[in-house]
Amino acid sequence: MAMAYVLLNSELGFERDVLKVLKDIPEVREAFMVYGVYDIIIRVEADTVGDLKDLIEELRHMEKVRSTLTMIVI
């Protein structure tokens, strides 16, 4: 099982919308709005590191997501 924490920035005013979409993704195990440099933090899991990378690529291209920072757990 591969796991990562992903910090996301959304477009201004769309934080709750992005969070709602993220919570509907099966691989997203936890998702929270946070205050600070980033808007949202999520914990994701996938079967393999390859699957995890594909998932993160999808997250990076989601509508209203401006930027991400990914930390893969080793």
Give CA angle at 19 (24, 44), nearest 5°. 60
Closest CA to 29 of 42, 15, 48: 42
CATH 3.30.70.920 applies to domain 2-72: yes
CB-CB contact of 3 with 58 (8 Å): no
Structure tokens of 59? 């997250």
Q: Which residues does residue 44 pair with via DSSP β-bridges, in sequence order?
A: 4, 28
Q: How confident is the model at residue 27 (pLDDT cuts 50, 70, 90)?
A: very high
Task: Kindly list the domain boundaries of the chain, sorted by start residue.
Answer: 2-72
* 30-40 residue pLDDT tens: 999 999 999 99
In the beta sheet, which residues pair with residue 72? 4
pTM, rounded to two decimals: 0.94
